Every structure is written in structure tokens, then in C-alpha cells.
């Protein structure tokens, strides 16, 4: 064999080794980046009453909530146009339905707000849209009410801190099933209309922790109004209570509103039940006329008769 043939054979050998090494590296990288599918669970499960007791024991402690929003993003669809906002802020909640979510951005100031109290609810989207919406709960659900891009009352529902009525025959009636693929207890709540029953919402609780991981709310026709995935549960600080007894709440919320094509993601930090004297009644007061942060203010139930 001459020198030229030896050189050719040597070159091909090097190329073959290089190809094998590259293929091995790609296999390793692909293996590292591929998330293993969750194995379905077919083992033992708990009785409905036992699951409810654990859920209530945790949720009963969350009479209020205060947390920093270390990161939030919202894609809001308004009349066919999508507007994106992001920043940080604060989330404050008080049972049964008081809520304030306020977002701001460095060098910009307030950019987003959702609020709710027993009488009213509101939303402000300051950059680009420059619009505020508000309405009264006594009209909510009527045909005369304009839908907000994000309903504050829906956000209260998906916080995952509601408690069960232990009378399982009282409406909305809960029915428990087990989702093997999700490895979670699923509670579907049903209410009665004049001509039929319908599902109002479904809450999924992780089997191992029995903490909420998904909330889906339906309208009367079974269409999804909002779906929320809840992740990364953390202990909420309770003053003068041992840390191991603190209740746990989700710190990551990913919400989708299919009807309005709107999305909202929240990441919470510094989660506690209270922050000094907050929350209080003033926390959840809707802005008075003339004090809105936007020039355009829309009363969504203006056409409803009192």
C-alpha cells in the first residue's frame, strides 16, 4: 500500500471517529434536555372525606394573603388587539373575595391593576391601552355586562385557597375522581339550573401533597372560562406559629382565558398572611371617580338596570 492510500485511510478513520463523537454528544445533550414523561399512578388512593380534611386544614389558615410579585407577564386582548405588559408588583387577598393585584415597572411606574371587593371589581391597563374598566357584582353574569379581558373574581377562584363545604350534597355538589396520568384527585363541582345540571369548576389536587395544581372554571355551556396551573408551593409565614405548621400556597400561577385570548403569569415571593396592618378595608377600595390612572374609564355594566 502506498503512502497516498495510507493517508486516505487515515483521513477516513479520523472522520469516522469524529462522527461517532459528535453523535454521542448529541445523544447525551438530547437526553439531558428531554423531560421524562410522568409515569401514571395506579396505587392506593384516599377517601374523598380524607382528602377534603387535608385540603381544609391547609386552606382554613389562609384567611388573607400578602406577597411580592417578583415577576408577572400579561398578554391582554382588547378588541382584537393584543398588548403585552410585564414587571413586578404585589398581590393581596382577603377571604372571601377581596383582591388587589398591582403591577409596576422600573422607570415607568404603575402599569397594571386588578381589584375586587364585595361590591365592585375593576381593572386598569395603563400603558398602550390607557383604559380602566369597572363594574358591580350585583350585575355580574347578566347579558348587559361587558366582559373584562381578565375577570378579578376569576383570579380569586384560582388562588387555590378555597375551602370545602363538608356537606357534599349542598350545591355546588363536589364529585371526586382520580386522574391516573396527572396523579391527582380531581373535584368537579356541579350546580343545578332550571332544566339541567352543569359543571361550575374543576380543581385538581396532587395526590402526594394534596395541594392544588390546576383550576378550571366553566360557563353554563361547559366552555372553559379560565384555566390556571399552580406550581412551586411555598409556606406562607404566620406570625407566632411554628414554621412547620405554616400553610402552603402556590408561588407560580399560569392563567389562560380562552374566550378573551388573554394570558397572565405570576411568580410570588415573600409570601405571608399579612404585612404589617395590610390587608385592611382601605386596601381593597376601588379608585374614586376622577382618580383613575387612565384617561379612558369604562363602566362595564352601564347598560344594566338597577
Torsion angle, CA of 152/154/156/160, rounded to 10 degrees? -150
Q: Which residues of the chain have pLDDT under 70?
A: 1-37, 306
- The runs of H, that is alpha helices, within the chain are 3-33, 48-59, 152-157
- The pLDDT assigned to 10 comes to 52
Q: What pTM was estimated for this model as a whole?
A: 0.84
- The pLDDT assigned to 11 comes to 46
- The pLDDT assigned to 217 comes to 96
- The pLDDT assigned to 12 comes to 46
Q: How far is the C-alpha of 197 from the C-alpha of 140, rounded, in Å?
A: 21
- The pLDDT assigned to 77 comes to 79
Neighbours of 114 (CB within 10 A): 25
- The pLDDT assigned to 15 comes to 44
Q: How far is the C-alpha of 95 from the C-alpha of 117, rounded, in Å?
A: 10
> What number does CATH give the domain 48-299?
2.50.20.10
Residue 279's nearest CA partner among 64, 69, 112 is: 64
- The pLDDT assigned to 25 comes to 46
What is the largest distance, in Å, between two alpha-carbon atoms of the chain? 102
Q: How far is the C-alpha of 115 from the C-alpha of 301, rounded, in Å?
A: 16
- The pLDDT assigned to 36 comes to 58
Q: What is the pLDDT of residues 145-158, one digit of tens each?
A: 998 888 888 888 89
Amino acid at each position: 500500500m502506498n503512502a497516498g492510500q495510507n493517508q486516505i485511510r487515515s483521513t477516513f478513520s479520523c472522520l469516522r471517529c469524529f462522527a461517532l463523537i459528535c453523535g454521542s454528544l448529541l445523544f447525551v445533550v438530547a437526553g439531558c434536555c428531554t423531560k421524562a414523561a410522568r409515569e401514571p399512578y395506579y396505587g392506593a388512593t384516599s377517601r374523598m372525606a380524607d382528602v377534603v380534611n387535608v385540603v381544609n386544614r391547609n386552606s382554613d389558615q389562609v384567611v388573607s394573603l400578602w406577597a411580592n410579585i417578583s415577576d408577572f407577564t400579561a398578554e391582554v386582548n382588547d378588541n382584537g388587539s393584543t398588548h403585552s405588559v410585564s414587571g413586578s408588583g404585589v398581590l393581596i387577598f382577603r377571604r372571601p373575595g377581596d383582591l388587589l393585584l398591582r403591577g409596576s415597572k422600573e422607570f415607568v411606574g404603575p402599569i397594571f391593576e386588578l381589584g375586587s371587593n364585595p361590591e365592585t371589581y375593576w381593572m386598569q391597563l395603563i400603558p398602550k391601552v390607557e383604559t380602566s374598566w369597572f363594574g358591580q357584582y350585583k350585575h355580574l353574569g347578566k347579558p348587559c355586562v361587558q366582559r373584562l379581558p381578565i375577570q378579578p373574581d376569576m383570579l380569586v377562584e384560582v388562588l387555590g385557597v378555597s375551602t370545602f363545604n363538608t356537606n357534599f350534597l349542598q350545591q355546588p355538589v363536589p364529585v371526586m375522581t382520580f386522574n391516573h396520568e396527572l396523579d391527582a384527585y380531581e373535584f368537579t363541582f356541579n350546580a343545578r339550573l332550571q332544566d339541567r345540571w352543569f359543571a361550575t369548576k374543576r380543581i385538581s389536587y396532587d395526590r402526594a401533597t394534596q395541594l392544588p395544581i390546576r383550576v378550571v372554571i366553566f360557563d353554563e355551556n361547559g366552555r372553559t372560562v379560565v384555566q390556571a396551573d399552580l406550581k412551586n408551593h411555598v409556606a406562607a409565614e404566620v406570625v407566632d406559629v411554628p414554621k412547620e405548621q405554616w400553610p402552603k400556597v402556590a408561588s407560580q400561577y399560569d392563567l389562560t382565558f380562552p374566550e378573551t385570548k388573554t394570558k397572565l403569569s405570576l411568580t410570588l415571593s415573600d409570601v405571608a398572611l399579612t404585612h404589617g396592618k395590610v390587608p385592611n378595608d382601605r386596601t381593597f377600595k376601588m379608585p374614586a371617580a376622577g382618580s383613575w390612572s387612565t384617561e379612558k374609564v369604562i363602566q362595564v355594566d352601564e347598560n344594566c338596570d338597577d
